[in-house]
Amino acid sequence: MEGVEGHVAYPHLADNPIPHLVAMMGALDDLKLDDGSDHFQPSNLEFTTVDVGNPATNVIPKTARATFNIRFNTHHSLDSLDQQIRSVLDQVATERNAKYELRVLKNSEPFLTAEGDFSELVAGSIERHLGTRPDMSTTGGTSDARYIKNYSPVVEFGLVGQTMHKVDECVALEDITTLADIYTSILDGYFKT
């Protein structure tokens, strides 16, 4: 978000980008992308940082920035989300007579691996070791699987817990051993076919 830097004693000579950015963030935060699908949870937009880089308390900054991440399902594409976000931001910018720049990193389309022999191999291995059939789910959002899905079938399976992706993430050592046994069963079954 670009503004005009100036002293707080003369706000009429400046254009504070912070209120413009806050309005844009509010519009994006209010945006309901979808209700989810049969296989995916609702898409979500989460702000991850806001910064003006201004150590002075009496100077209106020239720029204000916000970063957000969108985890989205198959109702959207990278391009359709780009257009939708720009439409919302354009409307706010027009209403406020403000200028903004949107930089988009497009690196992950959603995908769904069809159930079949490979997913059955994984589910059977899990069931043999844990005594329960796994739920086929797409929770957790995108992963590095997006880079290999075009070259190999992809099924994600790993440890779960209340500390996943948090500070001091931890799991029981026994769970790691069991997971290794399940992975070995999957590999044995895959290379026997």
d(Cα 164, Cα 29) in Å, to the nearest integer? 25
List the pLDDT tens digit at each of the 193 positions of the chain.
999 999 999 999 999 999 999 999 999 999 999 999 888 889 999 999 999 999 999 999 999 999 999 988 889 989 999 999 999 999 999 999 999 999 998 877 787 888 899 999 999 999 999 999 988 877 766 677 878 888 888 888 888 778 888 899 998 899 999 999 999 999 999 998 6
CB atoms within 10 A of CB 43: 22
Which residue from 82, 54, 79, 57 is spatially nearest to 68, judged by alpha carbons? 82
Side-chain-side CA neighbours of 58 within 13 Å: the count stands at 2
Residue pair 27/88 in contact (Cβ under 8 Å)? The answer is yes
